[in-house]
Amino acid sequence: MAATGGSHISHSQDEDVIEVGTGATSSAVHRLNETNTKFVALSGEAKLATEEEKSMTVLEALRLYPRAVGWSVLFSTAIAMEEKVWSPEHKKPGTYQISAPWQAGLSNGARVGEILGLLLNGYLAERFGMKKTMIGSLILLSGLLFIPFFAQNIETLQVATILLGFPWGVFQTLTTAYASEVCPVALRGYLTTYVNMMWGVGQIIASGVLRSLLGRKDEWSWRIPYGLQWMWIPPLLIGLSFAPESPWWLTRKQRYTDARKALLKLTPASSTDQIDQTLSMMRHTDEVEKEISAGTSFLDCFKGVNLRRTEATCIAWVIQASCGASLIGYSAYFFVQAGLDTTVSFDFSIGNYGIAITGVFISWFAMTYLGRRTIYVGGLACCVTVMFTIGFVNLAHTTAASYATGSLILVFTLTYDITVGTLAYSLVTEIPSSRLRTKTIVLARALYNCQGIINGVITPYMLNPDYWNWSGKAGFFWGGLGSVYLVWAYFRLPEPKGRTYEEIDVLFEQKVSARKFSTTKLDLFRVDNQTELETVAEQKAE
């Protein structure tokens, strides 16, 4: 039952539900209510905004926040520029195949640059805001693209991939963070996972361009794909120049007037009352988080309750790279080594990325009825099963086994992008606290890229016939690693679906089990013997 002060947790005897009675959200909120009359007033309007947002359907949210959807989609489109392009230089005599060491070097060079760009983004976005950081990164990218475009050897291309990693690293986190901060609860899962769709769009464009250039034997076979990335920059820069800054960032900076202006750009002009309530909810959440944990540095991500939130965010994203997804990134190469013709392999690869985009759409439908945790854990179990199946199929060295492997990779891609590949983008934005969201996402993506570096080293060796030559038997490795993470996900991954950021704060502060997040009842705005609605009404009357 809900308490009138302090906080306690009780277990219902009739059902497996934990009720968190908090007096005023938590002991932190209780202290704020005792010392800050303005906070009590904020609680009233925050309660109205919270109740309205939680009851909002997807269609209602789309009607009220069409501008927020548009600006979020614009930001997320930048991730389509993260394309993998391979040069034919430094090939083995008589072939067009890059050696495994250079494959690893090119892939990992980009990863190293991305990690550095991620860490830099953690400071830049917090200091200058998401909009300015995004625009600056696009301008930097436009200049850096000249290096690979005019590269004369693979060594120069290696340097270019490292430098290009800086803006790519910014895109990887800023797009998801912005999406999570400009939309209501009802749209949060859809807009954050849209980033994964744009990754698929970028890869299918890259694969399509490379497929069309297979017949070319000159340097333009790899210069053209790099040059095409310039086409994204002008429209993005023009659009972003009119985009609003994140209202959550402005609230954290106590720029409440600017935050209100940003909300006006995200919603129709007729909803000014809702804007005031939404701003109160943001201020309320920010005050609570400052009372719980005042710091906003990277170190604060590992202190107190934030340590658990950082763990869940980081591992949720690492799993995305540790369950066999690296085979998707090397899909065309993988299909060749599995015995398929080069042209057929590229066709399979393009189909692979098309399936990835389809998976995001299916995931959106699934999210309407199922929780993030249910889809993620169930999908991870399916991915592990498919990986083991690929391993067993490749015990037979036949043409039928090669085509079966290609088909199973497509099945894996669809399963992955309905579940783990898509849901990770939503989870990593919802689990961190608002004040540490950008930095926590940065840490998670940096750890993801570290796993990507490991993948970039071992995957070419797994597939290359001159090295380990595992081919499809690599499925045993990824299936085994995925099994370990499946156990973690069952016990440690929480369910944020349908929760406001303040509710998620309370669930973590009260140390609620990850398996109980979806069934926990909360009373966030009770203030002693007086409701906030009465307080607000009295203050307005004065």
Q: What is the 3-state secondary structure (H, E, C) of 136-170?
A: HHHHHHHHHCHHHHCCCCHHHHHHHHHHHHHHHHH
Rounded to an integer, the average pLDDT of 372-383 is 94
Q: Is the pLDDT of residue 31 over 50?
A: yes
pLDDT category of residue 382 using cuts at 50, 70 and 90: very high
* pLDDT score at 507: 87
Q: Is the pLDDT of residue 38 over 70?
A: no
Short-list 465, 521, 474, CA closest to 498: 521
Residue 259, token pair as written in the block: 């935050």
Domains (range + CATH), the chain:
56-243+293-493 (1.20.1250.20)
pLDDT category of residue 519 using cuts at 50, 70 and 90: confident
Rounded to an integer, the average pLDDT of 439-462 is 86
Mind listing the pLDDT tens digit for each residue in 324-364?
A: 888 776 666 666 665 666 666 667 667 777 787 888 889 88
What is the H or E stretch that residue 108 is in?
Answer: helix 100-128
Is the torsion defined by CA of 521, 526, 529, 535 positive or negative?
Answer: negative
C-alpha dist (Å) from residue 361 to 63, 133, 183, 200, 356: 20, 29, 19, 12, 9
Rounded to an integer, the average pLDDT of 14-28 is 47
C-alpha dist (Å) from residue 315 to 97, 192, 484, 532: 34, 18, 12, 39
Q: Which amino acid is at 356?
A: A
Q: What is the DSSP track for 451-520? A: HHHHHHHHHHHHH-TTTT--GGGHHHHHHHHHHHHHHHHHHH----TT--HHHHHHHHHTT--GGGGGG-
Classify residue 400 by burial, with Cβ atoms within 10 Å: 0-12, 13-18, 19+.
exposed
Integer Cα distance of 488 and 493 in angstroms: 7
Q: Is the pLDDT of residue 491 over 90?
A: yes
Taking a C-beta distance cutoff of 8 angstroms, is the pair 502, 524 a contact?
Answer: yes
Mind listing the pLDDT tens digit for each residue in 208-265?
A: 777 777 666 666 776 777 788 888 889 999 999 999 998 888 988 888 889 888 888 8
Q: What backbone torsions phi and psi does residue 19 show, to the nearest 5 degrees?
A: -100, 125
Mind listing the pLDDT tens digit for each residue in 125-144?
A: 888 999 999 999 999 999 99
Taking a C-beta distance cutoff of 8 angstroms, is the pair 188, 248 a contact?
Answer: no
pLDDT above 70 covers a percentage of the chain that reads 75
Integer Cα distance of 363 and 501 in angstroms: 22
Q: What backbone torsions phi and psi does residue 18 show, to the nearest 5 degrees?
A: -105, 125
Residues for the chain: how many in total? 542
Q: Is the pLDDT of residue 98 over 70?
A: no
* pLDDT score at 352: 72
Report pTM. Answer: 0.77
Q: Which of 18-27, 53-62, 175-184 has the highest mean pLDDT?
A: 175-184
Taking a C-beta distance cutoff of 8 angstroms, is the pair 411, 516 a contact?
Answer: no
* pLDDT score at 536: 41
Q: Which amino acid is at 89?
A: E
pLDDT category of residue 376 using cuts at 50, 70 and 90: very high
* pLDDT score at 341: 67
pLDDT category of residue 427 using cuts at 50, 70 and 90: very high
Mind listing the pLDDT tens digit for each residue in 198-208?
A: 877 877 777 77
Higher-confidence position of 139 and 6: 139
pLDDT category of residue 7 using cuts at 50, 70 and 90: very low
Q: Is the pLDDT of residue 478 over 90?
A: yes
Integer Cα distance of 55 and 58 in angstroms: 10
* pLDDT score at 501: 82
Using the CB atoms, write b or e for 178-187: b if 16+ within 10 Å.
Answer: bbbbbbbbbb
521-523 and 8-11 strand pairing:
unpaired
Q: Which amino acid is at 530?
A: Q
* pLDDT score at 230: 87
Short-list 383, 401, 410, CA closest to 471: 401
